[in-house]
Amino acid sequence: MGIDFRRKSRILWVRDQTSDIGVQHLKGKRPTISKKVVVVSIVIPIALLHFLTGSNYRGPYPAFVNGYLIDILLPLSFYFLLCLVELPLLRSWVVKSVLVFGAASSVEVAQFFGVPIFGRTYDPVDFVMYGAGVLLAAILDTAVFSRVFKSWAPAAGEST
């Protein structure tokens, strides 16, 4: 169950029993962090925030946090979870955005018709919040992470 450090040529791999954790270090260069590590670093804090705050949040801006923050952050999380799926169709940020926004919107439409899926209250502003979360994720995906993390950019020959 311990961690095994092995040096393969000039790359240091940190391994647990089942898989590579995803940090490579080349001599003289900054570490390369895998997509999995980046996505987990985004999704886990959002999930914890969702479960820890709940509907009883009483801190700063309680109306925004209780009403809209999760409506922004959950689509953002689901977008990045789709970034881990290795299907050619999901390489495009447009496809991921449409899928996530469509799923979130369908839940809101179901709530409008009285079907209590992930909540009971229909709020048309939620559509704007879902769009904001998807837009933020797409911007992070295409304009920020692809420049900051070497492992984020598509391999040669892949389209985005």
Residues 6+ apart with CB under 8 A from 95: 89
Taking 60 as the threshold, does the pLDDT of residue 3 lie above it? no
Taking 50 as the threshold, does the pLDDT of residue 144 lie above it? yes
Write down the pLDDT at residue 92.
Answer: 93
Task: Encode pLDDT of 92-107 as tens digits.
Answer: 999 999 999 999 999 9
3-state secondary structure of 33: strand
**For 122-142, what is the mean pLDDT?**
96
Chain centroid to Cα 22, Å, comes to 17
Task: Encode pLDDT of 14-66 as tens digits.
Answer: 444 444 555 555 454 555 678 899 999 999 999 998 888 877 788 888 888 88
Percent of the chain with pLDDT over 70: 75
Write down the pLDDT at residue 118.
Answer: 84
Sketch the domain layout of the chain as residue ranges: 1-33, 34-152
Residues 6+ apart with CB under 8 A from 35: 22, 83, 84, 149, 151, 152
**For 151-155, what is the mean pLDDT?**
69
- pTM score, whole prediction: 0.75
